[in-house]
């Protein structure tokens, strides 16, 4: 005999089924009464990547080094009007070198819109571009720290980190993005002074900055380096620059192994042909600039805005298993 307080298996199953049915009816009714429900939201329109941005031929003027984005024609898109944040980096504190233009500027804008406070470094000659970035960061209600100076100076690199930590109240994202690129058709045209300037900017500066930053970085912090397709498929006229980008790729992989046990992730971004001031200020010849990026699978150069989400992803905590990785964006050229 079954006790009156006990339920048969059939009664239990029946009760569950009734509850599920009731729940489904309630959910169905809720969805029907809420037209804003995600299931009924209109799909975002598809965008053809081959026509999204300008294609060559270009007629942008050459500039003296280091060049300004504001003087390029067409002007690069760093996400000034297009990048929309969603709070992925809320409360984070980032230092970005080369934050006035190119990928550094795109990362700075995206980080601010994701909720981070941002310090940017740049050369004094790049002040007009940097001011635009600082204004955009402040517009998001975030702290914006401008620290101009030459990264070829070890003492300045140490001071840069100190000022960033003081201004931001800490540091948990470091983006070593600044780079020097000056093409030379022959190694015979490359002076020791040129070679030294490229090495100091692209290799020594990240070394000095990382050393100064690490004592301030807690587990969960990230370091991101900007390498290049040049690390994998170097151009003949970028003898010195290509070497530094291969070295950047390797320091990312080495440092990731060293700092992994400490809970600090290290990754890199490897762009292909991207429309930045590096090109018209000596990184490319005037002839190559006219057709720049035209040999990519998309028939155009990339824009800095198209890499912003990569820098965000590598900095975000939901990428916590990504370290020692190189994320490429080369427009179909297959590198890395």
10-residue averages of pLDDT along the chain (336 residues): 42 42 41 50 92 96 96 97 97 98 98 98 98 98 98 98 98 98 97 98 98 98 97 96 98 98 98 97 96 97 98 98 97 83
pTM score: 0.88
The predicted-structure confidence for 97-112, as pLDDT tens digits, reads as follows: 999 999 999 999 999 9
Task: Note if 111 is an active site residue.
Answer: no
Nearest to 142 by CA among 91, 100, 104, 80: 91
- Per-residue model confidence (pLDDT) at position 30: 39
Tell me if 219 is assigned to some domain. Answer: yes
Looking at the domain assignment, is residue 135 inside a domain? Answer: yes
CA dist., res. 61 & res. 68, Å (int): 11
Whether residue 21 is contained in a domain is answered as no
Q: How many domains does one find in the chain?
A: 1
17 is a domain residue: no
Q: Which residue has the tokens 């470094």?
A: 121
92-129 exposure pattern, b = at least 16 Cβ within 10 A, e = fewer: bbbbbbbbbbbbbbbbbbbbbbbbbbbbbbbbeebeeb
- The answer to the question of residue 58 being in a domain is no
Does a structural domain hold residue 69? no
The per-residue pLDDT for range 155-167, each reduced to its tens digit, is 999 999 999 999 9
CATH number at residue 94: 3.40.50.720
**Six-digit token pair at 181?**
């690129």
Q: Is residue 303 part of a domain?
A: yes
Its domain, for residue 100, covers: 90-329
Q: Which has the closest alpha carbon to 224: 301, 147, 307?
A: 307
| pLDDT recorded at residue 32 | 43
Bridge partners (DSSP) listed for residue 117? 93
Distance CA 229, CA 233 (A): 6
Residue 68 falls inside a structural domain: no
- Residue 99 and residue 108 in contact, taking contact as beta carbons nearer than 8 Å: yes
The whole-number pLDDT of residue 336 equals: 75
Catalytic residue among 241, 251, 311, 327: 241
């Amino acid at each position: 005999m079954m006790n009156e307080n006990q339920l048969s298996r059939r009664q239990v199953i029946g009760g569950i089924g009734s509850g599920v049915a009731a729940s489904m009816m309630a959910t169905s009714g809720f969805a029907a009464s809420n037209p804003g429900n995600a299931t009924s939201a209109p799909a975002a329109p598809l965008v053809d990547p081959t026509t999204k941005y300008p294609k060559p031929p270009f007629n942008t003027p050459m500039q003296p080094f280091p060049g300004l984005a504001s003087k390029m024609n067409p002007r690069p898109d760093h996400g000034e009007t297009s990048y929309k944040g969603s709070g992925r980096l809320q409360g984070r504190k980032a230092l970005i070198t080369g934050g006035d233009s190119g990928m550094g500027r795109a990362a700075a804008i995206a980080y601010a819109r994701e909720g981070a406070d941002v310090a940017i470094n740049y050369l004094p000659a790049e002040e007009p571009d940097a001011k635009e970035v600082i204004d955009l960061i402040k517009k998001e209600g975030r702290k914006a720290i401008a620290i101009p100076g030459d990264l070829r100076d070890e003492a300045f690199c140490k001071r840069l980190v100190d000022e960033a930590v003081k201004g931001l109240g800490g540091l948990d994202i470091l983006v070593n993005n600044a780079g020097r690129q000056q093409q030379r058709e022959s190694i015979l045209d490359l002076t020791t002074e040129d070679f030294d300037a490229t090495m100091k900017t692209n290799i020594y500066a990240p070394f000095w900055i990382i050393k100064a930053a690490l004592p301030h970085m807690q587990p969960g912090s990230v370091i991101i380096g900007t390498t290049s397709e040049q690390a994998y498929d170097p151009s003949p006229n970028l003898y010195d620059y290509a070497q530094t980008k291969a070295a950047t790729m390797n320091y990312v992989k080495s440092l990731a192994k060293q700092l992994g046990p400490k809970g600090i992730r290290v990754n890199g971004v490897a762009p292909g042909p991207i429309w930045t001031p590096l090109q018209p200020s000596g990184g490319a010849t005037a002839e190559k600039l006219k057709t720049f990026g035209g040999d990519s699978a998309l028939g155009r150069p990339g824009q800095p805005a198209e890499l912003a989400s990569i820098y965000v992803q590598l900095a975000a905590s939901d990428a916590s298993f990504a370290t020692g990785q190189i994320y490429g964006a080369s427009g179909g050229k297959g590198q890395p």
